[in-house]
Structure 1
Amino acid sequence: MEENQKKVPAKRLDIVQVKLVREKTMLYKNRRIRSPHDAYELMKEFLGIVDREHFIVLCMDTKNQPTCIQTVHIGSLNSSIVHPREVLKMGILSNAASILVGHNHPSNDTTPSPEDIAVTKRLIEAGELIGIEVIDHLILCEDNFRSLKEEGYM
């Protein structure tokens, strides 16, 4: 070893494991998502009554049977900043064949914002890269919803 070189101390590296943890369960009587309305009913039951925007990911198997559901982001009264990595992480960890996403509008107006449309397109592109289909994006309100797929945004 040359005189000018200093010995660099070893760096400790963490050995980790990534896994999903079940917090609780809920019953879904229909077993399979057959329509946007089915997904709306399930998401609405999961979400309950909230005063801020919640972005939800519903993971499904190859038969469109829900396997898990999670709120991946809670925003403010009128916005929720969502990144594809947070949404798709859930799908990857649960080995989902597809996902269905949704978020609520506390204003009770189902009109999609430009941001809603942009995030939907980003999620579709990211899902295609990793092999998880984004089936639909629902905007949930108290007594109605809007499917961005049915509206032609996807």
Structure 2
Amino acid sequence: MESNSSKHAKRVQIVQVKLVREKSILYKERKIRSPHDAYILMKEFIGDADREHFVVLCLDTKNQPTCIQVVHIGSLNTSIVHPREVLKSALLSNTASILVGHNHPSDTPTPSQEDIEVTERLKEAGKILGIDLLDHLIICSDSFISLKEKGYI
């Protein structure tokens, strides 16, 4: 016969959180010195995707990329992004700062209101965690826009 205390007990899982390295790409520049440098790396990583891919690029204290992750794959023209998903790999990889970016399959680099709002939320969340958001890039096939250069960061 079960006791009253075990009948109402809640099993708590013991876990371990890990960053899993799937593969790597070679970045010959070593450092991100400008939005254009980040664009080149993100463009190579995203390729010619037909849906929005939101990526986070994690950097060390010398602005060297340490990891890149697709945080969300959206529809043809939208991608719902939450700061916890963006900052998860940054926390696990001991990142100093991040750059984020997403492609616009429409090939129009103009930021949407949602793009601007996501940038602001990521900036604030990063500030709380001590991870600087350096830029948010909107990537098109032959061009990009830096939200920092446009004054949103």
Q: TM-score range by the shorter chain?
A: over 0.9
Secondary structure of 1:119's counterpart equals: helix
Aligned residue in 1 for 2:109:
110
Task: Report deviation, 1:49.
Answer: 1.1
**Counterpart-to-counterpart distance in 1, 2:127 and 2:10:** 37
Write out the 4+ residue segments of structure 1 that deviate beyond 2 Å after TM superposition.
none
Rg comparison, structure with higher value: 1
Aligned residue in 1 for 2:125:
126
Aligned residue in 2 for 1:20:
19
Task: Report deviation, 1:8.
Answer: 2.7
Deviations 1:70-119 (A, max 9, x none): 00000000000000000011110110000000000000000000000000
**Counterpart-to-counterpart distance in 1, 2:122 and 2:17:** 22
Equivalenced residues, count: 149
- For structure 1, the 5+ residue unaligned runs are 1-5
Q: Map 1:25-40 onto structure 2 (within 5 A).
A: 25-40=24-39
Aligned residue in 1 for 2:90:
91
Q: TM-score, normalised by structure 1?
A: 0.95
- For structure 2, the 5+ residue unaligned runs are none
Verify: 1:8 aligned to 2:21, yes or no.
no
Task: Report deviation, 1:13.
Answer: 1.8
Aligned residue in 1 for 2:146:
147
Secondary structure of 1:8's counterpart equals: helix
**Counterpart-to-counterpart distance in 1, 2:50 and 2:133:** 26
Q: TM-score, normalised by structure 2?
A: 0.95
Deviations 1:42-91 (A, max 9, x none): 00001111100000000000000000000000000000000000001111
Give the counterpart letter for 1:135 in structure 2.
L
Give the alignment's Cα RMSD to 1 decimal. Answer: 0.9
Question: Identity, % of aligned pairs?
Answer: 72
**Counterpart-to-counterpart distance in 1, 2:107 and 2:59:** 27
Task: Report deviation, 1:12.
Answer: 2.4
Secondary structure of 2:5's counterpart equals: coil
Secondary structure of 2:116's counterpart equals: helix
